[in-house]
Amino acid sequence: MKAGERRAVVVVLAILLGVGGLTAYLELYQGERVRERMAQVAGERARDRMAAVARIPRNMSPADLPEAGSRGARALATYCVQCHDLPVPAMHTPEEWRAVLARMERHIRQRRGGPFSRVAMPSREAWAALEAYLARHAQRPLDPASLPDLDGPGGRAFQEACSRCHALPDPAQHRAAEWPRVLLRMQANMADAGLTPPDPEAARRILAFLQRHASDAPRCDPPGAGASC
């Protein structure tokens, strides 16, 4: 082989080795980037789960649940407390509960697979009762078009405070006399979750707004026509 041919072969081999080395480097780099992204996504999901669990009221008793003696309430108090405090049905809308239950089912299956796990999976009948129960007592989402004063001081305070933990509730899902107790419970839940509850003035405005649109409040024709409506 002539000197020129040898140099050509060396150059080709060097190019091949360089391309191979660059390819291997890029594969390793991309693989590391993928692993970093996967770890980031896993961390974000874990934080989301922790934030969701933090919004669950503490010290909630099964006797405080609506229809406390029903099969759905018993399923909620039996299976959900295996991993966190007892949730309340009004935490989510029916659509949100479907997504939450699908996520919880995957979580239970994963926990059951661990060597030290003793998490029980509900039977099909218990799961169906739980789904129906949560849908029946879920948060009734607000229809903004039904409240002309939603952009007023009370409505804005209501939106700012309540949307931090769940969908905005329909004020008509409680009577006026029930809203003070519900609002106090929500303020306690926010404090338990590490959130700053509304200050006394904002709480007063929120309560007035909720009671003005409660289920037993006088209705106006047209809506919002009078100061008392």
List, for residues 108-123, the tens digit of each pLDDT value.
887 765 555 677 888 9
Could you tell me where the beta strands, DSSP code E, fall in 14-173?
none
List, for residues 18-27, the tens digit of each pLDDT value.
766 666 666 6
- Nearest to 186, CA basis, from 163, 205, 208: 163
The domain limits of the chain are 1-54, 62-136, 144-212
| Bigger pLDDT: 119 vs 46 | 119
